[in-house]
Structure 1
């Protein structure tokens, strides 16, 4: 059975490309901002090499958290089990799970970075790494949650399949904010 044109179940490549191409152009420009931010922090990252090691994980994990929540929300929309009601306990459980996962991941990142810093001779105190990692990580998780809800609900309301749009939107936006927040928090904590 073929889904009617315009429904969320349409697998028409022209529709997908038509929706995604302009979005990908805009997102590419946004991601350029992250690269410029990273280049501006070159001196700090050279002085504290362990922070440069943390950057890819910090950015990647933020996007992954957003992708997880976006996928869960998209699935609930497709199944017709959500309307984004603020009293929906399952929605709040998903948000809580993302925050708990973020706290776990970013704590582990700080501990791993501390251990690696000792090995490579670029140590920072564990307390400093925990502050940088948890403040940055939890901020990125909060942004991932907001953009996951916005992208999923916005796509759904516009009649675009959220499965086609949410992951690129959320991962790119969270990557940029993750980079900016991580560099900003690191610079603040280290006095740069």
Structure 2
């Protein structure tokens, strides 16, 4: 399915605010879940301070990966070059690039946390940090890919400009899942 140019959404302030305001209210409530999860993990994060240092990067990078893919998909929709077809090699190349970027970023996060942990005296073995970072990070990257495709496609089908909806939805939802997954994987690996 090739999308004709100019068929998505409206540039009117009323239309954008009308679409986004209710969505942002729902997203605010969803993001509260991440805060509650973080509060529940306070004991583990106090014992392993290096994990607390990893949290912002883990959460931020997951949302950024989703934003990258969502932006690319939205641009292709506006250009009329996207087909949501599993045989579309360019779509798979974008997915592969996001996953490769995730593997690189989350490996670097583990190494950076290990080095920083040595400086501040909050160490965990590098293998443990790699396991936590890569399992959490790659899980979040897969969720980012799924939500990017689902949100872009749903926005298109509903006649809403994906530029207005995809990045707020994907970044917020992936941030929440990033927090929950990171805390869950950390607790599982460390036996909490």
Aligned equivalents of 1:118 and 1:112: distance in 2? 10
- Report Cα offsets for 1:147-166 as digits up to 9, x if no partner: 00001010011110000000
- Report Cα offsets for 1:36-72 as digits up to 9, x if no partner: 0000000000000000000000000000000000000
Match of 1:163 in 2: 163
Deviation at 1:9, TM superposition (A): 5.3
Task: Give matches, 1:29-44, under 5 Å.
Answer: 29-44=29-44
Task: Give matches, 1:33-182, under 5 Å.
Answer: 33-182=33-182
Q: Is the 8 A contact 2:9 2:160 kept in 1?
A: no
Which consecutive unaligned segments of at least 5 residues does structure 2 have? 1-5
Aligned equivalents of 2:8 and 2:82: distance in 1? 15
Match of 2:3 in 1: none
Deviation at 1:10, TM superposition (A): 2.2
Deviation at 1:180, TM superposition (A): 0.1
Q: Is the 8 A contact 2:9 2:159 kept in 1?
A: no
TM-score, with length taken from structure 1:
0.96
Aligned equivalents of 1:84 and 1:100: distance in 2? 21
Which consecutive unaligned segments of at least 5 residues does structure 1 have? 1-5
* Number of matched pairs: 187
- Which 4+ stretches in 1 moved above 4 angstroms? none
